[in-house]
Structure 1
Amino acid sequence: MAENGKNCEQRLTGMNKEQHNGNFTDPSSLNEKKRRDREERQNIVLWRQPLITLQYFFLEILINLKEWTIKLWHRRNIVVSFLVLLAVLTAMYYIEGTHQQYVRYMEKKIFWCAYWVGLGILSSVGLGTGLHTFLLYLGPHIASVTLAAYECNSVNFPEPPYPDQIICPDEEGIEGSISLWTIISKVRLEACMWGAGTAIGELPPYFMARAARLSGAEPDDEEYQEFEEMLEHAESAQDFASRAKLAVQNMVQKVGFFGILACASIPNPLFDLAGITCGHFLVPFWTFFGATLIGKAIVKMHIQKLFVIITFSKHIVEQMVALIGAVPSLGPSLQKPFQEYLEAQRQKLHHKSEEGMPQGENWLSWMFEKLVIVMVCYFILSIINSMAQSYAKRIQQQMYSEEKTK
């Protein structure tokens, strides 16, 4: 493995030397060289160069650990204070007393909130494929609460975090007592925490662009390079994508807080550009993060909640299942697993035994579980590839520095 890694480093070094040769003064040659370097890095992936990719991945981890250790040492007073606070909280957690009921309650709430915030942060990176955790976790959670609320005629099942399954309360609910606002209130905590996580996940592009602008250094991020190219060719932009990006950039730059709020309040795949724009033009942190937090955790989350709740309301679901059955030829066979799944959920909600449970639920659950496993595995692979490519970029940048000093 070491020999393969050395050979790859030699190839990268050789290509850099061949491509330099006095070309630093020629902007077009430099841009061409960067493009070739980028293509060379993109080939360092597990399915093409597994041994080199793994070696570079572990080397990048070691370098990051060293950098983080140095940073923590420089901030050792904060680290010591944090460790003391952690020791006090640990003592309170394990010492018996009347305070334990409050400790358990806070533990339950903190872990529940941290779970959804973490999923929100992961959603900003798309699990390596652009697929949001809203589709995998929060959306299905809101849908299950909605179905349970209409079936039980109540939302008085346990407070979050729920047990493995939601159970209807013993007291009978009043028919028609469930409203949209009732269900929205029931899922507000987890939805807002997820939205706050997505807002936190938008901070890296902002900090990257801000640091690059303040330091005057050339940033590594390719999205930032595309952003600067877009600014240079703003007047000549013709295609729809470029115009859309310019519209977002102009709104954020000119309108400020309310422009950021508008971009964050709607499903917007170009919002990364808003973070880069705010960082590049040195928009204050709390202006950017405050507008992003309000837009994503409050405005957009209520829009998404309403959509899911209305879609999974009892009469809408029954109409959708009926429409599936109306499909010629395939309709009845497609309709059956959904009917069995809904029936299985009703049995669960009313404490009925899981013995003899229809197979439709198992089929849908199996599909969902396998989808989640595939997405998580792809996410892990993308992290390994990304870190290996980061190490390759370090080698290339080291060559830039050596050539510039000659």
Structure 2
Amino acid sequence: MPKMGNKPKWRRGETRKIQSALLRAVFLASNPQYLERKRIDWEARQKIVLWKKPLVTLHYFLLETLINLKGWIVNLWRWRRFLVAPMLLLVVFGATYYIEGAHQKYVHYLEKKTLWCCYWIGLGILSSVGLGTGLHTFMLYLGPHIAAVTLAAYECNTLNFPEPPYPERIVCPEGGIEATVSLWAILSKVRFEAFMWGVGTAIGELPPYFMARAARMSGPDADDEEFEEFEEMLEEYDSPRGTTSWAKQSVQNLVKKVGFFGILACASIPNPLFDLAGIACGHFLVPFWTFFGATLIGKAIVKMHIQELFVVMTFSKHIVEQMVTLIGSVPKVGPSLQKLFQDYLDSEKVKLHSKTETKNVPGKENWVYWFFEKLVIVMVLYFILSIINSMAQSYTKRMQQQINSQDKMN
């Protein structure tokens, strides 16, 4: 016979839902103007964007930035005892970097590898942050890098690209021994970059986890709209209203019931709803290393190899030749597009056998590079604009909460 104090987990969950629903019902009954005020505040925040109120948005963005910087400085000061060792290491590394000696070649090698590693980790973080609004750096950077290495491997019949200029630029080695390039060899060549990018994406999933965990541990706040929305989603689990709701609830249920392996499964496949998994893990107080460990393995090892394999197979020599042939079979525009793609491939092959970096001939600028360059610029600008708008709206919400708190006190 079970003890009275030990309720089953599902019983505790039902009790929590009932208590939360009762508290919300009591609060709304005693504050009928709450929903109207929340709607007005939300509409006011949505107007704080650069294309509607540029000066106000920039002003609020700067104020929110200063507040965040102040918070970071305070947190760093609190953890100053743990920062002593890293600071000493930086001082030692700085001294060895500027002192001449035989060790400089090792220092420069370490510097190059560290910067290259940080570059891909940073791109991975940018791809994950923002709850789905992040910069999709796989399509813009990692994917093209893997594709370039794959095309070069089949053209050069080797993966021993001279360093430098690799990895900044790929050039076929002169007088190299040609050999059959295997799929596994290409995967191994780009595995480091892909792994670092995967580590970055795993790190980028931490903010939703920490926010949901902090909200759960501090208790529900009537003014916390994100927490309230997540609570409503949990309550709607038994009655999904559509495919999207069903998918979200399936992810939440998988994480809640399966734990580590559920998180691993969600992180191992291209999953646009993984932000929800991070929120669910934080909400259900999943241990940090359980969440981050499963996310790291899934994104940096399993998912990375899936994406890497897909790109390498797509840009293998025979597949590319078949794609060019299929493009030529498109009615009317096929021959023109085929010529453009063939010219692009030919120009890339010429660059692979050139010692110096070739430049486009005036009037014959490569349209693929032009399009890709403009696409990157547009994506980066959109990402920056979304950050500015989001931070400005966060400051607006901060002011609204202060005003509402003062009204409650009065």
TM-score strictly above 0.5: yes
Match of 2:318 among 315, 318, 337: 315
Quote the residue 1:388 is aligned against. 392
C-alpha separation in 2, matches of 1:237 and 1:303: 31
Q: What are the superposed Cα offsets for residues 58-95 of structure 1, whole Å, 9 maximum, x if unpaired?
A: 22122222222222232333344433322111001111
**Structural RMSD (CA):** 2.3
Distance 1:217 1:189, change over 3 A: same
C-alpha separation in 1, matches of 2:222 and 2:176: 62
Quote the residue 2:247 is aligned against. 244
How do 1:179-194 residues align onto structure 2 when only pairs under 5 Å count? 179-194=182-197
Match of 1:334 among 321, 337, 360: 337
Q: What are the superposed Cα offsets for residues 160-194 of structure 1, whole Å, 9 maximum, x if unpaired?
A: 9825421111234435x111101000000000000
**Higher alpha-carbon deviation: 232-241 or 86-95:** 232-241
Q: What are the superposed Cα offsets for residues 281-335 of structure 1, whole Å, 9 maximum, x if unpaired?
A: 1111010000000000000110101110010001110110111111111111111
Tell me how far 1:56 sits from its aligned partner: 1.0
Tell me how far 1:101 sits from its aligned partner: 1.9
SS in 1 for 2:145: helix
Please say if residues 264 and 292 of structure 1, whose CA atoms lie closer than 8 Å, have aligned partners that are also in contact. yes
Please say if residues 143 and 312 of structure 1, whose CA atoms lie closer than 8 Å, have aligned partners that are also in contact. yes
C-alpha separation in 2, matches of 1:173 and 1:358: 36
Q: What are the superposed Cα offsets for residues 78-137 of structure 1, whole Å, 9 maximum, x if unpaired?
A: 344433322111001111222222211111111111000000000113798555110000
Please say if residues 127 and 378 of structure 1, whose CA atoms lie closer than 8 Å, have aligned partners that are also in contact. no
Quote the residue 1:235 is aligned against. 238
Identity among equivalent positions (%) equals 69
Quote the residue 1:198 is aligned against. 201
Quote the residue 2:346 is aligned against. 343
Amino acid at match of 1:393: K
**Higher alpha-carbon deviation: 64-73 or 207-216:** 64-73
Normalized against structure 2, the TM-score is what? 0.87
Normalized against structure 1, the TM-score is what? 0.88
- Residue 208 in 1 paired to residue 211 in 2? yes
Amino acid at match of 1:83: M
How do 1:1-400 residues align onto structure 2 when only pairs under 5 Å count? 26=30, 29-125=33-129, 129=133, 132-158=136-162, 162-174=166-178, 177-218=180-221, 222-351=225-354, 354=358, 362-400=366-404
C-alpha separation in 2, matches of 1:370 and 1:286: 40
Tell me how far 1:41 sits from its aligned partner: 0.3
**Structure 1: where are the runs of 5+ without partners?**
1-22
C-alpha separation in 2, matches of 1:202 and 1:343: 40
Paired residues, number: 383
**Higher alpha-carbon deviation: 273-282 or 395-404:** 395-404
SS in 2 for 1:183: helix
SS in 1 for 2:172: coil
Tell me how far 1:401 sits from its aligned partner: 1.2
C-alpha separation in 1, matches of 2:396 and 2:85: 37
